[in-house]
Structure 1
Amino acid sequence: MVEIRQMNPSERHWVKKLIEQYGFQFYDSAITHVVDDKGNIIAASQLAVEETQALILSIVVEENFRKMGFGDGLLKMQINHCYKNGIPIIKVKKGMADEFFKKVGFVEDGEWLTLDVQAFYLNLRCK
């Protein structure tokens, strides 16, 4: 069974290796979510949270598991975390898969793509 959840401390080494494998820096202070496929970490994301905004640091998916919705699931976990914790804005630096973020509702704002978390949930349409 595939599960998307917060990283367990015992998985730190494997998650750090996965994130760095794709050219991103691993941050111990970040909120880290993983996709666990029967004990195998196949995707991970990190989110840095400040008082009024959050910054997406990374979303990575093992190449053999791409185009299966795992990146989308991780992004929605990050959005949900912000919503539940009253963080109104999420930002991601432009150049990190811009079209992926834009299709969810992120908009260009200078060198950033930003998402109004409340507006995301108000405009959510289930298919």
Structure 2
Amino acid sequence: MPEVAYLIRPMVDEDIPQVTEIDREAFPGDSLFRPYTSYKQEIHNSLAHYIVACIEKGTGSKPSQKDRQKKSWLKRLLGHHHLAISTSAVRNNLYSKGYIVGFAGFWTMLNEAHIIAIAVRNNYRRMGIGEGLLISVIEVATQLHANVIALEVRASNMVAQALYKKYGFRVLGRRPRYYSDNGEDAVLMSTDTITLAPFQAHFQRLKEAHHSQRREKSSQLN
């Protein structure tokens, strides 16, 4: 499949059916919140924060008040992340729901952000979308004054572990038989303090490299 332009934005109620599809595809034996009502409760929980990655599939209709709020949210919390996407992709995805290819969610508890899930549709993996979602999670967690970010990942998921290690997560231990579908262990990972200069310097370098790659690919698409 060719590279696609994508936009990351906050998750809304209308996204739940598509996110449920991705959830079931990515976590077939251990889905997160499969019932519609559970997802709706989750995204309206003040401690929970969910974002989605959309590809360009819009009508270009006039923006609503909710769309303008999305754009403000993106500018405030995601900085220049969306500059990697073409202007038309930004316009279309802000003004319509678009086709969701990935999502991420995390909770904030005291000074810790805990990643619940990062998932991408099978047909859109290895395009940097999961990395883009992780970048956005780190940015939002920083804006929300989290000190550290933690997560659990399947012991067999070496690709995800490599991505997390790239962004400064380190292994703290294991949770035996954490996953109910097959009794697999979870690897517990956490960052150092994300507000400190060493972490931010490393993160900014990785983020800029990712954005540069996205800009290059986006220019090839336009």
The counterpart of 1:34, out of the listed 52, 64, 68, is 52
State the aligned residue count: 127
Cα distance per residue 1:47-106 (max 9 Å; x no partner): 111111011111111111111110000001110011111001100114252112111110
Shift of 1:17: 2.8
Name whichever structure is richer in strand by fraction. 1
Equivalent residue, structure 2, for 1:109: 172
Note if 1:98 corresponds to 2:174. no
Stretches (4+) displaced over 4 A: none
Equivalent residue, structure 2, for 1:121: 200
Shift of 1:20: 2.8
Equivalent residue, structure 1, for 2:111: 52
Unaligned ranges ≥5, structure 2: 34-38, 58-97, 175-187, 210-222
Contact 2:106 2:113 (8 Å CA) reproduced = yes
**SS where residue 195 of structure 2 aligns?**
helix
Report which stretch shifted further, 20-29 or 6-15.
Answer: 20-29
Identity of aligned residues (%): 27
Task: Indicate the RMSD between aligned Cα atoms, in angstroms.
Answer: 1.7
Highest CA radius of gyration, 1 or 2?
Answer: 2
Note if 1:19 corresponds to 2:23. yes
Name whichever structure is richer in helix by fraction. 2
How high is the TM-score relative to the length of structure 2?
0.53
How high is the TM-score relative to the length of structure 1?
0.88
